[in-house]
Amino acid sequence: MLWGGISYQGLFPKQSPIFVDDWLELIRPKDTEKANEELGDLRYIIFQDDQDRQQRMRVALDAVEHVFHHWIEPKDCAAKLADVWPIENVWGILKEKLRVRQYNSLEHLKNDITSEWNQFSVSLCRRMIDKMTERLKLIIDEDDDDEIVKNNT
């Protein structure tokens, strides 16, 4: 499991996504300060619950409520919006790049993930975020088309 975010200032954490072992350390309720150090001022970070099974575990949900000031609940966004959120595109790009490689160890995989993470420029992150409006419009238009078809049948 990996955890990370995207902003107009680039990906965060800057050095690499957070791997499951580090994530477990960050989400412990007593480690709010550690999360602040790693992620920056948590008042300006919105945690998006994308309904991933790992994020739905009680321990993860409790940690999100304790560590983050703001979050988007799954009920606040339709599942089909996963294609709109830029971080989902980041994960997709990482998967595509890493899928064809062979790994001899977990450390080798982590190093490659970190290397690819660092290839994302601030300008690429900004372009991905700027396209959100376009992508949302496509979904809205698609929903309108579906509604027209329903009303005409």
pLDDT at 138: 82
pLDDT digits (tens, 9 = 90+) for 90-119: 988 999 999 999 999 989 999 999 999 999
pLDDT of 135 reads 81
6-15, 22-31, 78-87, 137-146: which is most confident: 6-15
Residues 74-103 have a mean pLDDT of 79
- What's the pLDDT band for 141 if we cut at 50, 70, 90? confident
Tell me, what DSSP letter sits at residue 78? Answer: -
Q: Does domain 2-152 bear CATH number 3.40.190.10?
A: no
Which one has a higher pLDDT value, 138 or 72? 138
What count of other Cβ atoms lies within 10 Å of the Cβ of residue 60?
19
pLDDT band at 137 (very low <50, low <70, confident <90, very high): confident
pTM passes above 0.75 = no
Q: ∠92-97-100 over CA atoms, to 5°?
A: 120
DSSP code string of 4-49: -EEETTEEESSS-PEEHHHHHHHTSGGGHHHHHHHH--GGG-EEE-
Q: Which ranges in 19-131 belong to alpha helices (H)? A: 20-26, 32-39, 58-67, 86-99, 106-117, 122-130
Q: Other CB atoms closer than 10 Å to residue 125's CB: what's the count?
A: 21
